[in-house]
Amino acid sequence: MKKVIGISSTMVESVISNTLRVDENYINAVLHTGASPVCLPIPRDVSMASRFVERLDGLILSGGSDIAPFLYNENPIPEAMEYQFERDAMEIALLQAAYEKKLPTLGICRGMQLANVHFGGTLHQDLSVQLPDALEHHTKDWKDSAYHFVEVEGDSILGKCFSEKKVIVNSHHHQGIRDLAPSFRVTARSADGLPEAVEYLGDWNFHGVQFHPERLYFKDEFCKIFKILLEVC
Ligand code: MN
C-alpha cells in the first residue's frame, strides 16, 4: 500500500468564497517519493485534526504566512507580516495530534517555526530588524536568489540525506527561530548561527527545515529529506 502524506494548506480569502491553496511543489515532491499526497482543509472545528491524522502515514506542515506573535506572547512589530489565526490553530491541532500518534512529521519553513513555538520556543519576527547582521534569507524572487550554505550536523538524521556537511540551500524567510524549544536540537545552521533545521529529542520523528526542499525535490539529496524524514522508504 502506498503511504499517504497529508499536506497542510493555506486559506485565500475572497468575497465570492474562500479558497484553499497548496503549492504544487509539495504535491510533486510527495509524488516523486512514490507516496500519495492529500491536501488538508482548515475547518473551524480543530478537533477534526485527530480524525485526519488517524488516516495518514506522514504529515507535512507547509510554508506560508507568519505565525501570529501572540502565540509566543509578543505584540507584533511593524515589520511583522500577515498571519492567519485559523491556519495557526488548525496546524497546532494537527501537530499535537501527530505528536500523540507519533506520526512522522516534516515542518517546512513556517511549519518548523510553528512547531518551535508550539513546543515552547520563540521567533525573530523579522530578521532584518531583530538580527541585522544575519545573511540575506528573504527574497521575493523564488527562482534562484538568496541561496546560502548551511552546516549540517553529521550525527543527525538530516545528515543522512547529504554526503557533504556544507550544503547550499534556498532561503525564502524573513522570520527565524530565536529561542529554541527545549525538546528540539538544531541539526543545521547558516553561518550567522540561525537554526536552519531541527529535530525532536525523543521518541517522535519530527523534523523541521527552514529552507524549501520541495522546490528542489528533483535532486536526490533533497528528495531524501521527504523519504527519510517522513519514513516513506
Ligand atoms: Mn535561510
Q: Report in angstroms the alpha-carbon separations of 14 from 20, 62, 86.
A: 11, 21, 15
pTM over 0.85: yes
Instruction: Say how far residue 94 (Cα) sits from the centre of its chain.
Output: 13
pLDDT in tens, 90-140: 999 999 999 999 999 999 999 999 999 999 999 999 999 999 999 999 876
pLDDT interval class at 185 (50, 70, 90)? very high
**For residue 144, how far is its CA from the centre of ligand 1 (angstroms)?**
13
**Mean pLDDT, residues 7-36:** 96
Instruction: Say how far residue 154 (Cα) sits from the centre of its chain.
Output: 21
**For residue 195, how far is its CA from the centre of ligand 1 (angstroms)?**
8
> Which residue numbers are catalytic?
109, 212, 214
Which pLDDT does position 49 carry in this prediction?
98
**For residue 205, how far is its CA from the centre of ligand 1 (angstroms)?**
23
Res 206 pLDDT > 80: yes
**For residue 68, how far is its CA from the centre of ligand 1 (angstroms)?**
20
Gap between the Cα atoms of 86 and 42, Å rounded? 7
C-alpha cell at 140: 521575493
**For residue 48, how far is its CA from the centre of ligand 1 (angstroms)?**
33
